[in-house]
Structure 1
Amino acid sequence: MKKYIGLLVLMAMVFVLGACSVNKGEDTAQTAGNLGMITLGLMPDVDSIPFIIAQEKGFFKEEGLTVNLKSFKSAVDRDSALQSGNLDGAISDMLAEAFAKNGGFDTVITSMSQGSYKMVVNKDKAVSSIQDLKGQDVAVSKNTIIEYVTDRILAKGGLTPEDINKVVIPQIPTRLEMLQNGKITAATLPDPMGSIAMKNGGKLLSSSDQLGVNPGVLLFTGKAVKAKEQEIKAMYRAYNKAIDYLNKEPMDSYIDLVIEKGGFPPSVKGALVLPSYTKATAASPREVEAVVQWLHSRNLINKAFTYEELADTRFVK
């Protein structure tokens, strides 16, 4: 009899625990299903590829998240969309964050990104070193990561920004076209546009990779980090899944998808060289400090912001 009663008690416990497990699973699914939407701004560069993969391979969906990806061709258009509230976050850079804070806009750096920026010379120009650029036209986008990397490259080669003629061309595709048509001597371009320029005969002078410089970041509005904390965490989980995918899959299996969804020209096929992607990590305090110093020394911002004023590291390790 005691054994019979004991068996009934055990069965009852199993039933209750099973029901709790089902309810817990239902609660988790319900929580995932209740996640709001995130709208992200992308640029035509390799920083954006993990987000495209996360979208197209269903990694966002696996996390119960809806993500609206919007593409921009210039940093000015992207920043305007972010500051006007049309985006929750964007692939951006440390300079854009400092400018936003200086202008009173509430945005924060949530992680670094992994872009690559190349200074490339037109194939027909007699330039083989940084010193040869003295007095030459070099295309940049003003007061952006492109100009910052350009100045760092010039300094490494023994030139000052005043030694060259900076030609301001905000739109990246237009910058690439003018370089290839010989309208300018050199241009600083993000990948994959830099790699395309090289594939078409352009000569690499230097790059952010060679300098060990990485000022690319992901920004979110202060409103988004407060109201969409769970969504942002889910986004980063999906992002990390995309990194795992990119690190194990051959490029041939996704290059056509990236070209179509990323707005890259078809010529990127066979030219694209991806960075060694790593999972989401906090931006480098040292790099942030260098960028702030560069901006402050040129009177482009009124205050030398601290890392803590510009970054929110709670979403990544």
Structure 2
Amino acid sequence: MISRSRRLTALLCALTLSGAAALTACSSDTAAGGAKITLGFSAWPGWFPWQVAQEKGLFQKNGVNVDLKYFDSYTDSINALSTGAIDGNSQTLGDTVASVSGGAKLSIVLVNDNSTGNDKVIAREGITSVADLKGKKVAVEQGAVDHYLLLLALQQAKLTEKDITLVPMVTDQAAAAFLSGQVDAVAAFAPFTSKALERTNSKAIATSAEFPGAIPDHLVLGEKVTKEHPKEVQAIVNTWFETLAWIKDNKDAAIDIMAKRGGVSVAEYRSYDSGTSIFTKQQNIDAFTPGVTPQHLNFQAGKIADFMVSVGLTAARPQVDNLFDDTFIKAVP
């Protein structure tokens, strides 16, 4: 099964190695003349519609030449964007804020979805609440979005990370370790939640549904790409909504495509529906509008920036004021 690491720290590391200048330089070359825009995506239900767009010829229909690149490792897609090997990527808000902290110039142009249950903290039999994790072994990918979910859940239960034994592992290995009984709990995302829940009498004791808006997923492009190739970016955003309409009218065929891309059965894929809330155009507009509630991206970005400082991922609070570009959403027909 495929892997979606969803790391907050990967892009910080990559930028340290390659320098932020590589992002704009290489992205400009890739998209030169509007001939081609290379987009990355990886294993997450909210991003699989891109596969539908490709297979049904919807990019071409909207007059844009897209090289859609699938990454088995989400971390690799983050690194590819940071070095300019691709022009855009589907990634979480947390990873994007991390890249901004490292010096990248990026623009979020589209909200794909919010995680509304497909990120979970799953525990063995006998552990019935997050409070019961005190003193227990919990596997999670450090710096990843499910690490953030775990910390939110612990805080809600009046615990901290010091109250548990954190076992750092990449997400697929963490789910396997939990299934084999090596740890007491795991924080993971779909599709690895399905594997973890195969452990007898295991259950989710916290999910992203309890923290509305905390885990939004986006289409992120190099800032230079949005400035130099707005026509192509607009066509890609338009294609996203046309794809959602096609999926609505052809749900069975769409699920077949997306389940195959995800390496899961159709039945498993259908089980993810309620845990990933795909955003409409209006929900996008509302999210991009500045505000002080969890539905607003600027609010969530601020919370994530504070989280990064509190856990030592960055010394200075990232500046996210210019991260959100609602130009293309507002121009969708």
1:118 corresponds to: 119
Cα RMSD of the aligned pairs, angstroms, is 2.6
Work out whether residues 38 and 67 of structure 1, in 8 Å CA contact, stay in contact via their aligned partners in 2.
yes
In the alignment, which residue of structure 1 is the partner of 2:190? 191
Distance 2:267 2:72 in 1: 17
Q: Does 1:150 align with 2:150?
A: yes
Assess if the C-alpha contact under 8 Å between 1:41 and 1:91 holds in 2.
yes
Q: CA deviation at 1:73?
A: 4.0
How many corresponding residue pairs? 281
2:271 paired with 1:271: yes
The verdict on how the C-alpha distance between 1:269 and 1:79 changes in structure 2, with shifts beyond 3 A counting, is closer
2:36–2:64 Cα contact (<8 Å) kept: yes
Q: Which residue of 2 aligns with 1:45?
A: 44
Q: Is the 8 A contact 1:247 1:277 kept in 2?
A: no
Residues 227, 263 of structure 1: alpha-carbon distance in 2 compared, 3 angstrom cutoff: farther
Evaluate the alpha carbon distance shift between residue 70 and residue 234 of structure 1 in structure 2; reply closer, same or farther with a 3 A threshold: same
Matches within 5 A, 1:1-317: 35-116=34-115, 117-122=118-123, 124-170=124-170, 172-195=171-194, 197-198=196-197, 202-212=202-212, 213-250=214-251, 252-264=252-264, 268-269=268-269, 271-274=271-274, 275-280=276-281, 281=284, 282=288, 284-317=297-330
Give the letter for the 1:151 counterpart: L
Which structure: larger Rg? 1
Distance in 2 (alpha carbons) for counterparts of 1:296 and 1:156: 19
User: In percent, how many aligned pairs have the same letter?
Assistant: 24
User: What TM-score do the two structures reach when normalised by structure 1?
Assistant: 0.78
Structure 2 unaligned runs (5+)? 1-32, 289-295
Alignment deviations for residues 194-213 of structure 1 (CA, whole Å, 9 cap, x no partner): 24544665411111122212
Q: Distance in 2 between matches of 1:113 and 1:149?
A: 19
* Amino acid paired to 1:53: V
Q: 1: CA distance between counterparts of 2:240 and 2:209?
A: 22
TM-score normalised to the size of structure 2?
A: 0.75
Assess if the C-alpha contact under 8 Å between 2:145 and 2:215 holds in 1: no
Distance 1:136 1:209 in 2: 23
Deviations 1:158-198 (A, max 9, x none): 2212212222222x333332222222222222223324544
Amino acid at match of 2:85: N
